Amino acid sequence: MHTGNNQVRVRFAPSPTGYLHVGGLRTALFNYLFARKHGGTFILRIEDTDQKRSIPGALENLITTLTRTGLQHDEGPDVGGDYGPYIQSERMDIYKTYIQQLLDSGKAYYCFCDEERLNRIREEMRKRKRPPMYDGKCIGLSKDEIADNLDRGRPFVIRLRYPKEGKTVFDDVVRNKVAIDNSIVDDQVLIKSDGFPTYHFASVVDDHLMKITHIIRGEEWLSSVPKHIFLYESFGWEVPVFVHLPLLLNADRSKLSKRQGDVSVESYLEKGYLTEALLNFIALLGWHSADDREIYSLRELEEAFSLERINKAGAVFDLEKLNWMGGTYIRQLDVAYIADQSRRFFEEAGIDISDSDKYLKVIGTARDYVYCLSMIVEHARMFYDTMTFSEEDHDLLGQEGSKRVLSYMIEALGGQETWSPDDVSALVKKAIGDLGTKGKNFYFPVRLALFGSCHGPDIPTLIGIFGRDEAVKRLSDALHLKQ
């Protein structure tokens, strides 16, 4: 096992097959946090050897999304480094060298079976309730038979010659000792018929050459570890430390999938979930701190994170908790920062926010009601739009008592140039006394006139946002509504 803080090297190795999944972001985050905690190196490597699934533009999109979250990698295709190239399709010559070594040592073999035969074998295995595995037909081919098949241009794959006796026992940081029966481990394809390596082969070669010390990845790779260990040992390489993260689950405890909701990181960022909240939420999916604290900045996570506190049990992706956390961050972070992050939503809605003083005050009020920034416009629009009133609103504003309240406020506000919140509070108290009215008979018409709703921020806040002149204008418009 690797020790020593100065040599930790970890990698996040996604495939460019679409957007970044929240599960992928968690893998990236845990690798990033572990590297930062130990002063190590966080590497981005692109695993694009499955050419059929690679999507144009997905690589750039992946790097952009990762950059937006603030998880900055130290080495990668866009920033370089000493162990490149960092895109697997650019490393084909490297894989050719190492596969030849495995063929020469008898640890791998050519397989010329066609798809039809392989499908037939799989079907037979399924009928016998056994895991679908290759039957080893091509293991015994002589050198002459292999040479003849290659000369005739027959399609082939190269498979791992995996021993079928005994068990492979290995350590995993999350699961401690894991034992897997070798008889259920397939002779894995290492090089596909298109000449590209599979994940199993390329990742082992790259992890060794890139000096990866800890492999932190999803639980779905756990059953493949025996094949990977066999490859390390076949080359005489040191085996890294394995850390397999628990599954992400839907609320019904089924595996988190694209079919059951939104799983793309980009869509959460587009809706205006703050990256700070998203990373904090995702950090707690399968990891918990010693004191069960909930709110962490990225820097605090870097300090607190440890592999030992990763759970074995699957982690439920609880949208309600993400929303709670989103709202907490929006209310707690600096209002100028929230205003800046919200700007694009106001621009898209065509709202003029050039009065920056007013805009900041609006954000300061509207942020109390939202958990992602795309919602903030709906809670701010009434500060910018011309008031429109329903029939019910008309009835309330048309009442004699409401008119007295509005007239009183217009006259009182007009008598003074500037109003502090304390001044307005004192005025409200005096008005209620002078008019001899009950609280809601005062508050409802004033709020409705200013804000378009009987419920909402208090009167000093509203007048503070609008300023005296705009407040008087709104009160006057409501007083003179045509019934």
- Condensed to tens digits (0 to 9), the pLDDT of residues 338-375 reads 999 999 999 999 999 999 999 999 999 999 999 999 99
Name the segment(s) of the chain with CATH classification 1.10.10.350.
Answer: 391-479
- Rounded distance between C-alpha atoms, residue 396 and residue 469, angstroms: 23
DSSP 8-state symbol, 386 = P
pTM confidence score: 0.92
Tokens of 201: 């082969």
Q: Which of 226, 210, 121, 222 is nearest to 164 (CA)?
A: 226
pLDDT confidence band for 290 (50 / 70 / 90): confident
Strand, helix or coil for residue 159: strand
Domain topology for 94-191 = Glutamyl-tRNA Synthetase; domain 3 (3.90.800)
Instruction: Give residue-wise pLDDT tens across range 372-415.
Output: 999 999 999 999 988 889 999 999 999 999 999 999 999 999 99
pLDDT confidence band for 51 (50 / 70 / 90): confident
- What letters, b where the CB count within 10 A reaches 16 and e where it falls short, cover 114-138? eeeebeeeeeeeeeeeeeebbeeeb
Please give the pLDDT value at position 461. Answer: 95
Tokens of 289: 């701190």
- Give the dihedral of Cα atoms 72, 77, 78, 81; nearest 10 deg: 70
Q: Does the structure show a pLDDT above 70 at 448?
A: yes
Beta-carbon contacts of residue 282 (< 8 Å; ≥ 6 apart): 22, 25, 26, 29
Our CA angle for 250, 253, 256, nearest 5°, is 35
Least confident interval from 142-146, 296-300, 479-483 = 479-483
DSSP 8-state symbol, 196 = P
pLDDT confidence band for 483 (50 / 70 / 90): low
- Rounded distance between C-alpha atoms, residue 415 and residue 424, angstroms: 12
Q: Residue 180 pairs with which residues in a beta bridge?
A: 168
Which contacts of 364-371 are long-range, i.e. CB under 8 A and separated by 24 or more positions? Answer: 364/335, 365/457, 365/461, 365/465, 367/330, 367/331, 367/335, 367/338, 368/331, 370/327, 370/330, 371/273, 371/322, 371/323, 371/324, 371/326, 371/327, 371/330
Please give the pLDDT value at position 19. Answer: 86
Q: Does the structure show a pLDDT above 60 at 273?
A: yes
Beta-carbon contacts of residue 440 (< 8 Å; ≥ 6 apart): none
- What letters, b where the CB count within 10 A reaches 16 and e where it falls short, cover 143-152? eeebeebeee
Q: Which of 88, 85, 59, 63 is nearest to 73 (CA)?
A: 63
Q: Which of 390, 358, 383, 355 is nearest to 369 (CA)?
A: 383
- Rounded distance between C-alpha atoms, residue 114 and residue 91, angstroms: 27
Average pLDDT over residues 441-467: 94
Q: Does the structure show a pLDDT above 80 at 1?
A: no
- Rounded distance between C-alpha atoms, residue 145 and residue 309, angstroms: 54
Instruction: Give residue-wise pLDDT tens across range 202-258.
Output: 999 999 999 999 999 999 999 999 999 999 999 999 999 999 999 999 888 888 876
Please give the pLDDT value at position 258. Answer: 62
Tokens of 188: 């894995």
Q: What is the DSSP string of 347-383?
A: HHTT-----HHHHHHHHHHHGGG-SSGGGTTTTTGGG
Q: What is the DSSP string of 121-139?
A: HHHHHHHTT-------GGG
Share of the chain above pLDDT 90, in %: 87
Please give the pLDDT value at position 251. Answer: 84
The region, left, alpha or beta by phi > 0 then psi within -120 to 50, assigned to residue 51 is alpha
- Rounded distance between C-alpha atoms, residue 301 and residue 295, angstroms: 9
Name the segment(s) of the chain with CATH classification 3.40.50.620.
Answer: 5-73+203-247
Name the segment(s) of the chain with CATH classification 1.10.1160.10.
Answer: 265-379
Average pLDDT over residues 299-318: 95
Kindly name the residue from 137, 164, 255, 258 that is annotated as catalytic: 258
Please give the pLDDT value at position 53. Answer: 81
Name the segment(s) of the chain with CATH classification 3.90.800.10.
Answer: 94-191
Our CA angle for 274, 279, 281, nearest 5°, is 95
- Rounded distance between C-alpha atoms, residue 298 and residue 29, angstroms: 10
- Rounded distance between C-alpha atoms, residue 160 and residue 201, angstroms: 9
Cα 266 to chain centroid distance, Å, stands at 8
Q: Does the structure show a pLDDT above 90 at 456?
A: no
Q: Does the structure show a pLDDT above 90 at 262?
A: no
- Rounded distance between C-alpha atoms, residue 67 and residue 50, angstroms: 24
| Radius of gyration for the alpha carbons in the chain, expressed in angstroms and rounded | 32
- Rounded distance between C-alpha atoms, residue 245 and residue 174, angstroms: 7
Residue pointed to by tokens 């205006």: 272
Q: Where are the beta strands (DSSP E) in 73-166?
A: 108-111, 157-160
Please give the pLDDT value at position 257. Answer: 73
pLDDT confidence band for 260 (50 / 70 / 90): low
Average pLDDT over residues 103-112: 97
Architecture of domain 391-479 in CATH? Orthogonal Bundle (1.10)
- Rounded distance between C-alpha atoms, residue 363 and residue 339, angstroms: 6
Our CA angle for 16, 246, 54, nearest 5°, is 10
Please give the pLDDT value at position 5. Answer: 42
State phi, psi for 339 to the nearest 5 degrees.
-60, -40
Instruction: Give residue-wise pLDDT tens across range 7-35.
Output: 999 999 999 888 899 999 999 999 999 99
Strand, helix or coil for residue 43: strand
DSSP 8-state symbol, 73 = -
For the domain spanning 5-73+203-247, the CATH number is 3.40.50.620
pLDDT confidence band for 259 (50 / 70 / 90): low
Identity at 396, one-letter amino acid code: L
pLDDT confidence band for 69 (50 / 70 / 90): very high
Instruction: Give residue-wise pLDDT tens across range 167-185.
Output: 999 999 999 999 999 999 9
Half-sphere exposure of 225 (CA within 13 A, CB side): 27
Give catalytic status of residue 258 as yes or no: yes
Q: Which of 196, 362, 256 is nearest to 23 (CA)?
A: 256
Our CA angle for 392, 394, 396, nearest 5°, is 70
For residue 108, give the H/E element and its range. strand 108-111
Domain topology for 265-379 = Glutamyl-tRNA Synthetase; domain 2 (1.10.1160)
